[in-house]
Structure 1
Amino acid sequence: MNRTPEWTGAAGAPSGPAAPRPAAHHLQPAKSLAPEQGSMVPAGYTAVRLVGAGRHATVFLCREDETGSEVAVKLLHVAVEEERPRLAAHSELLAAGAAARHPCSVPVLEAGVTSDHRPYVTQEFCPGGDAQSLLGTTGPFPAADVIAIGTRLALALHSSHRRGVLHLAVRPGNVLFDAAGDALLADHGIDRVLQRAAPGLGSVFDPLYAPREFFGWEKPGPAADVYSLGATLYALLNGAPAHAEAARAGGAELYEAVLRGEVPHPARPDAPEALLTLVSRMMSVNPEGRPPLTEIHRTLRLLLPDTHSSRVPALEPEPAPVLPLPGWDPADEDEQVTDTGAESARREARRQARIRLIAACTALVVFAGAATALTLLLGHGDKHPAASPTASPSTAVPRPVPTDQLPVLMPRHVTVTRADGQVQVTWQLPEQAQRISGYVVQAKVRGTQSSPRRTAGNADPVATFPANSVSPGTCYTVTSLILTNGIVEYASAPDMCHTGTA
């Protein structure tokens, strides 16, 4: 398919020579919050101010009611009214949150759906702003900064791909800076959630950072993120996207420019030739012509000046992914194709995996109405309450699994570590993990009534809490959720209490 699609896009700032840049940790200017906007945020959060708003989402700086912690809540504008797409969107947001668990990604603390059916994610707040805003205020980035940013983003993308999530929206607006000025990649897979949940929206990608795959030539894979990363680094060096001039002439001209693939080097005599050549290869028209993320990381790491070595974690890319990555197209089970027996088996395996993921999300949604009851039960040490025989499955108090099933259904080997401003709770999957629909991790803060909660899926048994929301001596309960015929049962591991400060 090679038709010219429709979109709206704005050209970037004009190019120019690199200028000295202020420290990236300057705070974003506060934006006024209209009264009606404050009511948009999900339950459990209080809006503090508006961080930014775009075509498809609004970001609020919020205060978490339970802990008082400041977080960023990204609320998608689309309301997903039908249950099945809504559950699928929720499950994909959970997967996206798991993909963001990397030192070079913005941590996702929670994902859910509001009472009016709008998907949202809660992330750590990054006070340093985003690269797109900095381009507009201070111009092109110094080459050394671009190398450090590229190294960090390559690590984040490789980790995300290994967890089975394509980013599909790498662009300067999704490169955020923390208080230390370090770059973090945000919004893993969010555009894909939009595309699947609301096909009527049309194209949601930014054509200035999009490879030809996004225009229908091939199904996007990891190489699509490589192109967008290259286009982002180009913009940081140049001060504007590679095809900004074509975009000013119109959508058709931009489309033709992407297909021609003629990308001149930015006028940056201070940039190493190896960096400019790498960016050019990353923006190759043909996906097969783009280097893998491992090579990109290795090349950028070699180019990294000693003055910037502390800006990049001493990490190597993780082993290559085993599972196939999700693409841009609709769900595989909706495709009408003729294939071989082996292809059918692979498609069925993917379909069953998706069904299990949606089932896990269903359990979490059903459980949401009973989460408060479970918190009260566990908070009082009662892990074997009597369930009401007349309550409906969606509102009943969750009931414990039979005692003889507890050893094979409860999480195993729970560990708690505290580092880098976070408390991370991890566990091993139960012996019969295939029966588990999801997990709830509850923190019982010593000396208070606070009980922050996190949810997780089978794919990534880990939950993260901001360190300032809990104190040394806090005990953590990891609970398996089992959904059977609409009834929620649970199996809790013994409490794990963290007594240290590091």
Structure 2
Amino acid sequence: MSAGASRSISNIMASHQVRREYPTSADAYELLEEAGRGVSATVWSAICKPFNEPVAIKLMDLENMNCSLDEIVREAQTMRSLNHPCLLPLLASFVHRENLWMVMPYVSGGSVLNIMRFAYPDGLDEPVIATIMRDVLRGLEYLHRRGIIHRDVKAGNILLDAGGHVLLADFGVATTLERGGSWGNLVLARNTFVGTPCWMAPEVMEQTQGYDERADIWSFGITLLEMAHGHAPFARLPPMKVLLMTLQNPPPTLDSEPTKKPYSKAMRELVAKCLVKDPARRPSASSLLEHKFFKTAHDSSYLQRHLLAGLPSVPERVQLMKAGHGTRPDV
């Protein structure tokens, strides 16, 4: 499947630009193999039979969802309306039996987390990190300008296609900020507890004052550390301990753990700017894009040559990790 998938991502993205309509019935898709599993969702590689195109399908168990079907439909409609080269598009969504089916392009390079755990357990080189995270910021800038918080930025939700293009994925917990008062006045107060504890901003954990898009900037800073160290801060601790450490301790830094690679002063400064406990003092995605750290960023072909070249396919990596190569069989 990987050869077809390598060619298909650009085709699918191009068709998304002109709003190609993908089927909304389960019999139009052939599920091939499981590519990932979470608490309430399973991701499958599949074929869209009418177009003969590889796709990825997330099956979300509606019985395990903590929100109503109406909320899920509204979120899916929001996802469907997004159109940016650094965001993984939602091609179609529909309910079949007890699952919500969410159809997305199949991204053959897999997640940055999967790549690190297979081949770079001690972290990535700085130019690679800069190249990936610049495009993540571009995606976040687009979302934030539309009043949308991603709420789960981490290496596991950053995908690479065969050409090294970066796609920010998994809007399963993304939410649109509610409008209130006059036109354009956003009520910046979400009080729902979602996201992954290691990457979660302090104000999201506290659930007292609500939070806004600056929670994503904290998660972005934690993801910088994740890519430098090979894991997020406190990653080996239980969730409640992570919450306590995040709330009570000073923010983690690039030097909180020893690294096996050299990192610049600019990267240290960028991490420190993101990981400020007071969200009002965190910079926006737009302003972070101007930071000197990103002067070391390259184009997508750089990632293809320096990160993806020579790697087995995602299913092969998963099987090899299950057999003991790498650390954990995550995608």
Three-state SS of the structure 1 residue aligned to 2:226 is helix
Moved more, 41-50 or 272-281: 41-50
Asked whether the equivalents of residues 104 and 183 of structure 1 are also in contact (C-alpha less than 8 Å), the reply is yes
Q: Which runs of 5+ in 1 are unaligned?
A: 1-24, 27-40, 194-201, 313-502
Trace 1:64-75 onto structure 2 (pairs within 5 A).
64-75=48-59
Choose the corresponding residue for 2:199, options 202, 205, 209.
209
- Structure number with the higher helix fraction is 2
1:254 aligned to 2:239? no
* Aligned mates of 1:107, 1:238 — CA distance in 2: 29
Greater strand proportion: 1
Q: CA deviation at 1:280?
A: 2.0
1:105 to 87, 90, 94: 87
Residue 114 of structure 2 corresponds to which residue in structure 1? Answer: 133
Secondary structure of residue in 1 paired with 2:195:
coil
The answer to whether residue 230 in structure 2 is matched with residue 239 in structure 1 is: yes
Q: Which residue is equivalent to 2:287?
A: 295
Shift of 1:192: 4.8
Q: What is the deviation of 1:43?
A: 3.8
- Map of 1:49 onto structure 2: 33
Aligned residue for 2:102?
Answer: 121
- 1:273 aligned partner, one-letter code: K
Letter in 1 for 2:84: H
- Please, which of 119, 125, 148 is the counterpart of residue 142 of structure 1? 125
Structure 1 residues 265 and 51: alpha-carbon distance in aligned structure 2, compared to 1, 3 A threshold: same
* Cα distance, 1:81 vs structure 2: 9.8
| Alpha-carbon distance between aligned partners in 2 of 1:145 and 1:214, rounded to the nearest angstrom | 29
Of the two, which has the highest radius of gyration? 1
Aligned 1:362-381 pairs, distance under 5 A: none
Q: TM-score, normalised by structure 1?
A: 0.48
- How many residues were matched structurally? 257
Shift of 1:204: 4.5
Three-state SS of the structure 2 residue aligned to 1:60 is: strand
Provide the aligned C-alpha RMSD in A: 2.7
Summarize the Cα distance change of 1:294–1:311 in structure 2 as closer, same or farther, 3 Å threshold. Answer: farther
Partner of 1:264: 253
TM-score normalised over the length of structure 2: 0.70
Quote the residue 2:157 is aligned against: 174
**2:124–2:230 Cα contact (<8 Å) kept:** yes
SS of the residue corresponding to residue 233 of structure 2 reads: coil
Counterpart-to-counterpart distance in 2, 1:208 and 1:294: 24
SS at match of 1:108: coil
Could you tell me whether the CA contact under 8 Å between 2:157 and 2:169 is conserved in 1? yes
Deviation (angstroms), 1:126: 0.5
**Unpaired stretches in structure 2, ≥5 consecutive residues:** 7-24, 176-191, 303-331
Cα deviation digits, residues 247-270 of structure 1 (max 9, x gap): 52x444322221123313244562
The 5 A counterparts of 1:22-421 are 42-79=26-63, 85-99=68-82, 101-116=83-98, 118-137=99-118, 138-139=120-121, 140-188=123-171, 190-192=172-174, 204-215=194-205, 216-244=207-235, 247-248=236-237, 250-259=238-247, 260-266=249-255, 267-268=258-259, 270-299=262-291, 302-305=294-297, 308-309=298-299
Q: What is the percent sequence identity of the aligned residues?
A: 22
For 1:86 and 1:311, the matched residues in 2 are separated by: 41
Instruction: Give the match's secondary structure for 2:148.
Output: coil
Sort the Cα spacing of 1:233 and 1:210 in 2 relative to 1 into closer, same or farther, 3 A: same
Aligned to 2:262, what secondary structure does the other structure show? coil
CA distance in structure 2 between the partners assigned to 1:304 and 1:253 by the alignment? 36
Q: CA deviation at 1:288?
A: 1.2
Distance apart, 1:300 and its partner CA: 5.3
Is the 8 Å Cα contact of residues 46 and 55 (structure 2) preserved in structure 1?
yes
